[in-house]
Amino acid sequence: MVKPKLPLMLMMLFFAGLQARAQENELDRIFQDQDLQSLIDRALQLNITAKVLPPGETPVWNSASSKLTLPGRAVAVRLVGDKLHIDVVFTPYQEPNGELVLVAQGQVWMAGAKEMRYFTTFKSVPVDAGEKVLFFPLGFTPNVNRGSTFTLQIEVEIFPYRKLLEKQKAAAEQKAAAEQKAAAEQKASPAE
């Protein structure tokens, strides 16, 4: 039977602790970097949800993702089916006055019985932060509530990333305060 040597184990734990502290200090230093702060201030988060909607029912298919980007940098979405291929590129722009503009470019390839059909769309829409923008790459039929028509809907929301970080930090602080309060109340209450 081999006994681990206590001094060796303690020394390994000590160095592991130093390394963890060094990494933590390195992360703190990185997040204090003014260039990174400038990027975080400019960054935008796009929340993108694609849905297939049958008439008058809940979605039969739903996919959601969040992408972080900078104004002027595109975020691509690709949907591929058996006889359908859709590429959508969303590019948010921020004007000098702070207003947001979303440019949506779509390309659709549909295989028919005898031919391949190609459609393209390009739309520029002014948006407010948090406002939902709906994009219908296959078009939108006014008769969606009749028959067996399905609609493909892509929903996009744009949020300033800095504000999302601040909300997450505030929520974490609230949760920690509530947990501390609950722990203090539990200690203060007499055991039954």
pLDDT tens across 105-123, in order?
989 888 888 888 888 889 9
The answer as to whether 74 is a domain residue is: yes
Structural domain tally of the chain?
A: 1
H-run or E-run covering 102: strand 100-111
Domain coverage including residue 105: 43-165
At 187, which helix (H) or strand (E)? Answer: helix 161-188
Strand residues in 37-83 grouped as ranges (E): 44-53, 61-69, 75-80
As given in the structure block, the two tokens for residue 37 are 């702060």
Residues 172-186, mean pLDDT to the nearest whole number: 84
Judge whether 151 lies within some domain: yes
Provide mean pLDDT across the span 53-61: 73
Q: What is the pLDDT of residue 3?
A: 52
The span from the CA of 185 to the CA of 157, in Å, is 41
Compute the mean pLDDT over every residue in the chain, rounded to the nearest whole number. Answer: 78
Strands 75-80 and 61-69: unpaired
Tell me, yes or no, whether 136 lies in a domain: yes
| Calpha distance 59→52 (Å, rounded) | 6
- State yes or no: pLDDT of 134 exceeds 90: no
Residue 6 lies in a domain: no
Whether residue 149 is contained in a domain is answered as yes
More confident residue, 17 or 141: 141
> What pLDDT score does 23 carry?
47
- Indicate the pairing of strand 44-53 with strand 61-69: antiparallel
Can you give the pLDDT at residue 148? 61
Lowest mean pLDDT among 26-40, 126-140, 173-187: 26-40
Nearest to 166 by CA among 81, 28, 15, 45: 45
Which pTM was predicted?
0.68
Note the pLDDT of residue 176: 86
